[in-house]
A and B are shown apart, each in its own frame.
Chain A
Amino acid sequence: MTRSGFVIANLFRRRTRTILTLLSVTMAFLLFGLLQSVNTIFNAGADFVGATRLFTQARVSFTSPLPISMLPKLEAVPGVARVAYQTWFGGVWQENTPLIMFSLDPQRYRDVYPEWVMPEEQWQAFIHTRTGMIAGKQIADQYGWKVGQKIPINSNIYPQKNGSKAWIFDLVGVFDGKDEDWKKRTNLAFIQQDYFDEANQFGVKGRENFFILKLADSNHAQQVARTVDAMFENSPDETKTQTEKDFNISFVKQIGDIGLIVRWILFAVFFTLLLVVGNTMAQSVRERIPELAVLKTLGFSDGSVLGFVLAEAFALCLGGGLVGLLLASIAGAMVEKGTGGQFQLTVDYHVWLIGITVIVLMSLAVGLLPGLRARRLRIVDALAGR
C-alpha cells in the first residue's frame, strides 16, 4: 500500500465523519469563492482600465455639469491627445429599469475609447444619424434590441420640447469590448449630444458631466491633472481631474465598505471551520493512538507519522476546498448569466489562488496540533493505553 493510499484509506475508515467534514469544508469554500468575487468587483475591478485617460468633473460633484466652452482650453493642455465628453441622460427602460446611458459626440468618443469594437458602417451610422443610439452587446442582448429597431426610452430627468419624457432612438449599432474585461462592461448605451441638446425642453445645451482626456503619455497623468485643475481654480466651474481608474474606485466606494462586510463574514466562516476540521482531526488521532504506536514500532519515523496526520488534514481541506471553489465558479457563472451580465460574479484565477492558499494554511492550522501529538507519542505508553 502506498503512503497516499494509506492516508486515503484512513480517512474513509470513519466514512460518515469524513463525508460530513468534507461537506462542511465545501460549504465554507463555496461561500468564500462567492464572497471573494463580490469583493473583487468592488475593490480591484478597475485594474485593466490603466491610466491613459483622465476624467475631469466639477469639483463640487460630477452631478453639477461643466460648460462645453471648456473644451478648447482642455484640448490646448500639453500632453492631452484628444478630448471627449458625456452627459448623463437618466435613461429608464420600460417601467422602472434604470440604464447607464450618456449623450456624447460619437467621433470624439470613438477616438478616446478604442476599446469598444463596432463595425465601421455602424460607427458611420452613429455619427450621421441624429436620433441614433448605440448599445453595448450585453444590454442589447438582455433587452432584445436589434440594429434598425426604434427603441423607446424614458428619461427621468429630461423631457422633450413637447413635454413628453418618452424618447425614441434609432439603434444604429451594437458594440462589444476588445477583450474579456471590456466585453463584461458592455452594459452601456449612448446617444448623440447634438440631438439631445436640440430636443430637450430645458434648453440645456453643452452642459457636460465629464470631460474625458486621452493622454499622449500616461506617465504625465498627474501633471496634466494638476494643470487642468489649476486652470479653473477659483471659478464657479472648478474642476477635479483624476485617472479613470481612480474615478471608478471612488465611485464604487460610495456604495459602502463592502470589503469590510465580506471580511467579517469570512472571519466567522473560517473560525467555525477551523473548529470543525480541527475537531475531526483531533478525534481521529485520539482514536488511533495505538495504531500510530504500531506504525512507529514497525519503523516509521516520528516525522513520517506527523506527515501522515498532516496529509490527512490536507486531503480533507483540499477535497472540500476544491469542490467548494468549483461550486462557487458554477454558481457565479449562473448568476452572471441569469442577470444578463449586470452582476458579474466571476470566480476567476485570483479567487482560486487565494482559495488554494487558504486551503494550505487551513490544513496546517488544523493538522499541526494533532500531528505533533502523534509525533510525540512514546511507543510504550501508547501501546499500554496510558
Chain B
Amino acid sequence: MLRQALAITGISIRSIPERWAPSLVIVVGLAGVVAVFTALLAMATGFESTLRATGRTDAALILRGGSDAELNSAFDRASTDLIKEEPGIAGGADGKPLASAELMVIAELVRKDDVKNGANITLRGVEPAAFALRPQLKIVAGRNFTPGLRELIVGRGVLQQFQGAAIGDTVRMRGSEWQVVGTFASGDAHDSEMWTDVNIARSTFGRIGSSSVLAALDGPDGLARLKSAVAAEPRLSLDVMREQDYFTGQTKQFRKTIGFLAGVVTLIMALGAVFAALNSMYAAVAARGKEIATLRALGFGGVPVVASVMTEALLLALAGGVLGALIAYALFNNVSVSTLGQNFTQVVFDFKVTPQLVARGLVIAIVIGMIGGFMPAVRAARLPVTASLREQ
C-alpha cells in the first residue's frame, strides 16, 4: 500500500505544474496568512525583548507607592536621600551607595516622517551612578553631558526615529536651549530616551525631588532586606521592585492587544484560505478524475489516493507557509518602529522574526493544508470508477 501511495503521490506532484493556477492559489493564500501572522507577532516579540533586556535582576527600582509608572511617581529630596541609606543597597567604588536618583519628564519631538505632530519622548535626569548601574549603555558618538550645563545625550532609537536630535542640534525646552552633545546605545528601552544631569533637569522643570531611585542590590537577599526596611520606615510609602520585573510588567498589555489582533486577523484569513484551498483541491481532483479512475481500475486502493491528494495539499500549504515566513522576514525583520509605552512616552523597538514564530506560522499552514485537502481527498477516493472513465 505504501508503494502504491508513493507512486500515486509522485504522479500527482509531478502534475502540479499542469494545474499551476489553482495550486498557486493555495501557495499564495497561505503565504498571506503566514506572513501577516508572523509579522504581527514579530512586533509583539520585538517590543517584549526590548523591554526585557532593559531591567537587571540585581537592581531595584523604587517608586512612590501606587504609581505604576515612573511618570506618575515623585518624592522629595529628603525621601530620596533617606532611600539611598536603606539596607540592601550595594556600595559603589567610591564607598557611597550605588544608587541613582532620577527625574523623568517628557519632552516632545517630531517623528522623521511627520511635519508637526509632537511625540512624547522620555527625558531622564540622572546622577553619575546611573552609568555604573547600566553598564550596557555606551556613548557611541560625541561625548557625555557636562553636569550643570544644559546638555543632552540621545539614545540611538530617538536619533533614528525623530527629528532634531542629532549631535549639534538644539532642543528647546521650557524657554531654554539644550545642546545635543552625544549619542548612546544600550540595546534596550533606554535607546528611546534622552539623558541629562538630574540637577539641571530639576531646576529647568521646576521639580524638587526625583521620580525614582535605581539601586544596585547587595547580594541575593538584598531585595528582601530593602523591602522590609522600607516597609518599616514610617516616613516612606514606596513600591520596591526588581528592575526587570518593572519592565517586563509593561509588556503584558501590548502583548494582549497585538495577540488579540493577530488572533482575529489570522483566524479570518485562515478561514478564507481554507475555502480557497478546498476549492483548488476539488478542482485538482476533478481534473484528475479520469487518471484516478484508471488507477483504481488497475487495482490501486482508495487509501493511497487519499494519501496522494492530502500530500499534495500539504506540500502546497507548506510551500506557501515558507514563502510567507520569508516575506515577513525580508520585509519586517529588524524594522524599527515605536509606540507609546507605560510612561506615556515612545518606546522604539525592532520587529523580531524568531524561529519560534516561523515554526508556529508553518504549523498554521499545515493545519490549513490538512483541512483543505481532506474532503477533496475523500471525494477522490470515492469517485465512481466507471462513470469517471466515461467522462469526456
Chain A interface residues toward B at CB < 8 A: 16-17, 20-21, 23-24, 27-28, 30-31, 34-35, 58-61, 63-64, 90, 154, 156-157, 163, 165, 202, 233-238, 240, 246, 249-250, 253-257, 261, 264-265, 268-269, 271-273, 275-276, 279-280, 282-283
A30 to B275, CA, bound (A): 14
Complex Cα distance, B283 from A8, in Å, reads 20
Question: Does residue B218 face the partner (Cβ distance < 8 Å to A)?
Answer: no
A-B Cβ contacts below 8 A, count:
155
Chain A residue with Cβ nearest B346: A254
Contacts of A90 in B (CB 8 A): 72
Near A by CB (< 8 A), chain B positions 327-366 give 337-340, 344, 346
Residue among B35, B39, B74, B265 with the most chain A CB within 10 A? B265
B interface vs A, CB < 8 Å? 21-22, 24-25, 28-29, 32, 35-36, 39-40, 65-69, 71-72, 74, 105-108, 111, 114, 116-120, 172-176, 204-206, 237, 264-265, 268-269, 271-273, 275-276, 278-280, 282-283, 337-340, 344, 346
Contact status B66-A256, CB under 8 Å: no
User: Pick the contact of A240 from B111, B118, B120, B346 — CB < 8 Å?
Assistant: B118
Please give me the residue from chain A that is nearest to B204 by CB atom: A236
Q: Shortest beta-carbon distance, A287 to chain B, in Å?
A: 10
Residues of A within 8 A of B114 (CB): 253
> 9 A–B contact pairs at CB < 8 A?
A20-B275, A35-B265, A233-B175, A237-B175, A238-B172, A254-B119, A256-B338, A268-B36, A273-B272
**4 residue pairs, one from A and one from B, having the closest CB atoms:** A27-B272, A250-B117, A61-B106, A268-B32
Given A236-B206, A264-B39: A31 and B269 interface contact (C-beta under 8 Å): yes
B275 near A23: Cβ-Cβ < 8 Å: yes
Query: Which of B71, B111, B175, B276 touches A276 (beta carbons < 8 Å)?
Result: B276
Contact A271 B172 (CB under 8 A): no
Contact in complex: A268, B279 (CB < 8 Å): no
B29-A275 in contact (CB<8A): yes
Closest CB of chain A to B342's CB: distance in Å?
11
B94 → chain A closest CB, angstroms: 33
Q: By CB atoms of chain B within 10 A, which of A23, A59, A61, A249 has the most?
A: A61
In the complex, what distance in Å separates the CA atom of A268 from the CA atom of B40? 13
Q: A20-B279, A63-B105 are in contact. List 12 more A-B contacts (CB 8 A).
A: A16-B282, A21-B275, A31-B268, A60-B205, A61-B107, A90-B72, A156-B69, A165-B65, A236-B174, A254-B339, A264-B39, A275-B28
Whole-angstrom CA separation of A140 from B67 in the bound complex: 25
Which of chain B's residues has its CB closest to A232's CB? Answer: B175
Contact pick for B272, options A157, A269, A280, CB 8 Å:
A269
Give the contacting residue for A17; candidates B65, B175, B279, B346; CB below 8 A: B279
